Amino acid sequence: MLNDEELLRYSRQILMPRFDITGQTRLKSARVLVVGAGGLGCPVALYLGAAGVGHLTLADNDQIEIANLQRQIAFEQSDLGESKAEHLADRVRRINPEVSVAALTERLEGDELQRQVKSATLVIDCTDNFNTRFALNRACVSARVPLVSGAAIRGEGQLSVYDVRDEASPCYHCLYPEQGNEDLTCSEAGVIGPLVGMIGASQAMEAIKVITGVGKSLTGRLLILDAWQMEWREMKLARDPGCPVCSSREPA
């Protein structure tokens, strides 16, 4: 149930007929794991915290550096050297004390990764390396937890939802094989600041849609953004019947 303060805080969402009390209650009951507290993770966590997701777990083992401040909007000059996950968690709490927020400052991998994914309603990939993305995908497929994936570099971004509860949905590995993909980071190729905000905010929107069941998610679709031309392209994604990660999934 929502208390009086929550009804007032979330009134602009509850006013929408399709969203209503039911959607807000679903958000309050949700547990979202956000992996990465940088350029994408900052807007994701801030928007989901403000929207009333009941429990957020923010995972990142990095500290805030001066080069982050150009795009990681939760941080400021006086935060240099602090833990990204802990500081972002504190920012969310200050925006919305009704939300429970946990910070994980160790690298999320192995059994702990599996445990965190299994306890989540939804996982959001805000990382910048393929190894972590593939590990997250495998854990989400195994636990049948939907994955909202975003990426941004230079002036280009991508966004999709991988939800193996839907038998037609591909997983991340269906689109990107593990062999032949090399990491290209922002420190090597650069990135324009507002781009990560656009992709991160879009990830938050997709998460809200998946959790509440309101709207049409990006499951089975990939959005590609060219920010310099301000052009969005959509690609239909098909499940790979030979995918070594998801081809043997059991029916729901």
Q: Examine residue 119 and state whether it is found in any structural domain, yes or no.
A: yes
Which residue carries 């989901």 as its tokens?
48
Distance CA 112, CA 150 (A): 22
Which residue carries 């809200």 as its tokens?
208
* pLDDT greater than 90 at residue 188: no
Domain that holds residue 33: 14-236
Q: pLDDT tens digits, residue range 101-132?
A: 999 999 999 999 999 999 999 999 999 888 99
Q: Examine residue 158 and state whether it is found in any structural domain, yes or no.
A: yes
Secondary structure (3-state) at 128: coil
Q: Examine residue 72 and state whether it is found in any structural domain, yes or no.
A: yes
Q: How confident is the model at residue 186 (pLDDT cuts 50, 70, 90)?
A: confident
Distance CA 201, CA 244 (A): 31
Distance CA 153, CA 162 (A): 21
Query: What are 221's two structure tokens?
Result: 């679709």
The pLDDT, as a whole number, for residue 162 is 98
Q: How confident is the model at residue 183 (pLDDT cuts 50, 70, 90)?
A: low
Is the torsion defined by CA of 10, 14, 19, 22 positive or negative?
positive
DSSP 30: -
Supply the CATH number for residue 156's domain. Answer: 3.40.50.720
Q: Examine residue 2 and state whether it is found in any structural domain, yes or no.
A: no
* pLDDT greater than 70 at residue 48: yes
pTM of the model: 0.95
Q: Examine residue 9 and state whether it is found in any structural domain, yes or no.
A: no
Q: Examine residue 7 and state whether it is found in any structural domain, yes or no.
A: no
Residue 91: its H or E element = helix 84-95
Q: Examine residue 130 and state whether it is found in any structural domain, yes or no.
A: yes
**Could you tell me which of 111, 108, 129 has the C-alpha nearest to residue 33?**
108
Domain total for the chain? 1
